[in-house]
Structure 1
Amino acid sequence: MGRKAKHHYIPKCYLKGFTNGGESSSPFWAVPINNDKPFPTSPNDACAQRDYYTVDHKNSLIVEDFYAEKIEPKISAAISYINVHSCLPPKEEMRCLILLLATLYLRVPSHRENLEMPMRRTKEIVESMSQDINISNKSEFDYSKTDLIQAELRLIDTVQECLSNKFYQLFIVEDESLNVITSDNPFIISHPKDGKGFYFGLNTSNIEICVPITSKAILIARNEKMKEGAFTATKELIGLTNTKLVLSASRFFYSNTEEILLGDDNISVHKHNISTNKAMHPTSG
């Protein structure tokens, strides 16, 4: 048996909730955001990169195995609870749901790029300075992919603690003809005053976190107190969530149907065909 080289940064146990079959091999549509033609794929092949979690260690797959064996079973338990009960999980399973959120926030390539940015910039500055002066500890500013992965692992508990202090609402899609999509970057933070260059983080006031849990469930979180519980997802919420996912995707978004519901600036919704890339008729109610 060959070495496991293809590593998922979005867990397969999460992605399969956006397929029709509910299995890792079940098909769904991958839609490139660069307007290339959509193509069928499966969770087995989506949101994965070669050697994404290979580290400098005698067991180079120790982190990949940690996520697969320790983290993903807990994530699956939270998703299964929501699938069965259509409500927010109780305390123990809620911890697993928060672990899912932390995973979707921390493990994507864009977050790794954010971790690397200051390290890379510091190294560039040191390299530039070393052309004029002798820097004896220059090697201390070097870093590797292993360093980035270690930084990610150190953040897991911190992010979970932060997420555990928020207020949550779960919205269930009851209309069988409608579905929520997901993407390769499904943890969405938005802000009422969001604009170009505006910075916000997990603890910024008035942010809203929006994460699709399955094709039939959307999770909303806020720092400010709100009524928690489970509610019916409106077409407007589904369309807005899908639009946010399309806009936040790094390379692909994923759908189990060719027609998806999208929203516009006026909070009106319409169906969009991903194959023809054309808007369909508007919907109401």
Structure 2
Amino acid sequence: MTDSRNHHYIPQGYLRGFGWKRGKHHMVIVHDFNDKKTYETNTRNVCAQRDFMRFEFNDRAPDWLETEFGKLESRSVTAIREVVSSGIFDGENKDYILNLMALLAVRSPEQRENMREFQARVAQRMMDLVLAKKEHWESQMEEMKEKSGKSSLVTYEEAKNFHMRGEYKIEVARERHIQTEIGLHHTVLQLLGQRKWTLYIVSGDYGEFITTNRPVVIAYINPENVPLLLRHSPGFGLKNTEIYFPLTSRALLIGRWTGNEATVNPANQPFIGVMNNQMIQHSYGLAISSCRTVLYHDPLFRLRFDDQIINRFTTPPSAEEIAQFKASHGIADISEASQAD
């Protein structure tokens, strides 16, 4: 039996809730804002990366962790279906779904790259300090020799020249990323469990929720009260925030710090439009739906129901559109509009 190598950081079972079945295959529509294209594909090809959860540890199979997480993901997908069918977000089903949300919140290629970049900056700064003076370098090499019994084969001048050229990339082991994610999962799960959750259900054929390659979104409730530079990086423990998580194309959860627990509300068109806008704005450049035509609010808050979301979110609005927006909102300068977003 061969190891599984195509690892989904967003489970196929979850993605199937936003698509349809064709024979043996489960299909979705992908809206790629980075490459500016929309296409139909199998869920096997979406939100997956080779060896993403591969973990080399003693005598275990390299894909054992992927297999174990797969069990949690499978049960969580079953819980989603039961919650959407019953309208009841409680008990064991709630626990499984919150576990899945915590996992999706901390696990993605983009977040791993952010972590790698941060650790690379720290390492580079440390090297700056070590190489600032020759005596610092020699002291470090002497300490290394005492611990390992080996002398450095690189001179101070060679090391400094190599560092100053910057012709290298600092990597972080995949196993280190996974260990960090597991630790973060527990913290995020505890915070998710403290929120009050409302389930929103689409009862007609007037639109549907989309999901993205960042399906757990945390946003400020009153962003205008938050400094501009901090608006796009709220933490899961902050009070003036709410969390959005589309369960399927017909259901979405919102977690707030206040309100009634486990309530169910209908989702009308404006609400679906706002949520789809939020999902797109907070995504890592990939939206997933069952139709090319999507219900959404565009960046100028106009409700749309079309197949133009790529164009709307990648092309700046025209001068005429901006003028109309300012006039309708009584805004003298478009910079004020961006601050009101």
Matching residue within 178, 183, 195 for 2:212: 183
Residue of structure 1 equivalent to 2:123: 123
SS at match of 1:44: helix
Higher helix share: 2
Which of the residues 183, 200, 208 maps onto 1:171?
200
Alignment-derived partner of residue 65 in structure 1? 67
Which protein shows a greater Rg? 2
**Cα displacement (A) at 1:176:** 2.2
- Residue in structure 1 matched with residue 5 of structure 2 by the alignment: 5
Contact in 1 for aligned 2:293/2:306 (Cα 8 Å)? yes
8 Å contact 2:90–2:262 — kept in the other structure?
Answer: no
Aligned to 1:203: 237
| TM-score in terms of structure 1 length | 0.86
Task: Work out whether residues 55 and 63 of structure 2, in 8 Å CA contact, stay in contact via their aligned partners in 1.
Answer: yes
Q: What is the Cα deviation at residue 274 of structure 1?
A: 4.2
Deviating above 3 A after TM superposition, structure 1's stretches of 4 or more consecutive aligned residues are 113-118, 134-137, 225-228, 264-268, 274-279
- 8 Å Cα contact 1:172-1:233 kept in structure 2: yes
Residue 275 to residue 121, structure 1, CA distance change in 2 (3 Å): closer
Indicate the residue corresponding to 2:290 in structure 1: 256
Q: CA RMSD in A?
A: 2.7
Unaligned runs of 5+ in 1: 280-285
Superposed displacement of residue 24, structure 1: 8.3
User: Hey, what does 1:224 align to over in structure 2?
Assistant: 258
- How far is the alpha carbon of 1:22 from its aligned partner? 9.3
1:126 and 1:22, CA in 2 relative to 1: closer, same or farther beyond 3 A?
A: farther
Unaligned runs of 5+ in 2: 148-169, 314-341
The separation in 1 between residues aligned to 2:105 and 2:240, in whole angstroms, is 18
Counterpart of 2:110 in structure 1 is 110
CA distance in 1, matches of 2:199, 2:251: 7
SS of residue in 2 equivalent to 1:38: strand
Query: Is the CA contact 1:107–1:152 (under 8 Å) kept in the aligned structure 2?
Result: yes
Partner of 1:283: none
Whether 1:78 aligns to 2:112 is no
Letter of the structure 1 residue corresponding to residue 208 of structure 2:
N
CA shift, 1:196, in A, is: 3.8
Query: d(CA) in 2 for partners of 1:237 and 1:177?
Result: 12
- Give the aligned residue type for 1:61: D
Letter in 2 for 1:53: M
2: CA distance between counterparts of 1:229 and 1:183? Answer: 25
CA contact (8 A) 2:36 2:310 kept: no
> Alignment partner of 1:150: what SS?
helix
**2:211 touches 2:246 (CA, 8 Å); kept in 1?**
yes
Deviation at 1:277, TM superposition (A): 4.5
* Residue identity matched to 2:281: L
User: C-alpha displacement at 1:160, in angstroms?
Assistant: 1.0
